Amino acid sequence: MRHMMSAKLHRARVTEANLNYVGSITIDEDLMDAVGVLANERVQVVNNNNGARLETYVIPGKRGSGTICLNGAAARLVQPDDRVIIIAYQWIANEDAREHQPKVAILNDKNEITQLMSTEPASTCIF
């Protein structure tokens, strides 16, 4: 078995940081569906603004809202308008790993999908 990236929301804009919530990350349910992330799924969040990395679980947010909200202790590692990468992983049988294609969504300033890919280019993306 190999632990492979299954989904990624690239350059999501944090819309809220709620320190007083129990915990997790709230993500617009439309974005979750686009890349196949489920409620309560474990994700890694990487903050492009300060380099912070954390793991948490997903709570569905209102559809079409563009919500990306870090809750609880994770709210200390982000600020509204920070750019984050949200990555989900899954275990894949070794014999299937080379054919595996994750779902990668590139987001704009409103957290709308501008591009949906099944592979990432080897070159550097400029935004």
**Positions marked catalytic:** 24, 57
Half-sphere exposure of 33 (CA within 13 A, CB side): 9
- Kindly give, in sequence order, each residue whose CB lies less than 8 Å from that of residue 94, ignoring residues fewer than 6 positions away: 1, 2
Q: Where are the alpha helices (DSSP H) in 41-106?
A: 94-97
